[in-house]
Amino acid sequence: MLHWFRSRVRHPLYPSVRATPALSSYGHPTAVSGTFHDLAQAAMRRVEPRRAVFVLQNVGEILLTDAQRDELWEEFQVPVYLLLLDAAGKVCAYECEAHQGLHLTHDATAPHRIPPATEVSLCGCGRPGPRLHYPHPPHPGLAVAG
């Protein structure tokens, strides 16, 4: 699968948090990243990230469900953030600690690229800018741990 060859993806709000790809993770990494399936496999191997889980999804895929998010929270006990990747594998939208949609990156906010289902009100995290509407209740882990 392409995820084996993908370079490490970093969350735009937490660039210093280096996530280990879930398929190659072991022990207690700072953070892990991968598809829901990859992360579930890491959980079965007893991987225990210390700060965050970054769920990688491609544009056009069905987004992470509340049940999947809850499962990841139960397994890892650290905040779970969704990162939406474009066709080139770059982050084009990301979830913040407020979990009130997916903030669009600067590349994705070019006027001709803003999707129609975009929220423009101020996010609960205080950051301005357009967000993809992704209804999701706040979770117990609101920020990157530690």
Where the chain has pLDDT below 70, the residues are 1-7, 108-117, 135-146
| Burial readout 26-62 (b: 16 or more C-beta within 10 A, e: otherwise) | eeebbbbbbbbebbeebbeeebbbebbbbbbbeeeee
Write down the pLDDT at residue 2.
46
| pLDDT tens-digit series, residues 83-120 | 999 888 899 999 999 888 899 987 765 545 556 668 88
Rounded to an integer, what distance in angstroms lies between the CA atom of residue 21 and that of residue 124? 29
Write down the pLDDT at residue 108.
61
Concatenating the DSSP letter of every residue in 31-53 gives: EEEE-HHHHHHHHHTT---SSEE
Residues 6+ apart with CB under 8 A from 134: 63, 82, 95, 101, 102
pTM of the model: 0.82
